[in-house]
Amino acid sequence: MSKTQEKSKLTARQLKAIPHIVGSPTYTEGCKKAKINKTTFYKWLKEPEFKAELDRQRDEIAAEAFGVLSQSLTQAVEALVGLLGQQRRPAQEAGC
């Protein structure tokens, strides 16, 4: 039994399913990837420990995504400002 399982009342099946669920755009797709029935998933959602771990892993993924976006923000703003500063728009250059 892993440390996560020792500290948690979650089953190995639940722990294995959570990454599939949080990594999918919909619960339906996540359940298919995790090979669990949606009814089972919704039953698990009523369990406070399962819901808390699902939320924790979802928040972790969101934080990582936000970090990636934050790192690229300055570069994106500079590119947009550069585009705004152009004298001619691409459509004008093409003769449209």
Task: Please name each of the domains of the chain with its CATH number.
Answer: 3-93 (1.10.10)
pTM beyond 0.75, yes or no? no
- State both tokens at 85: 């500063």
Asked if the model's pLDDT at residue 14 lies above 50, the reply is yes
- Name the residue with higher pLDDT: 94 or 52: 52
Is there a contact between 50 and 44 (Cβ–Cβ < 8 Å)?
yes
Query: Mean pLDDT over residues 36-51, rounded?
Result: 97
- 40, 38, 1, 36: which is closest to 17 by C-alpha? 36
CA distance 62 to 69: 11
Residue with tokens 């449209």: 96
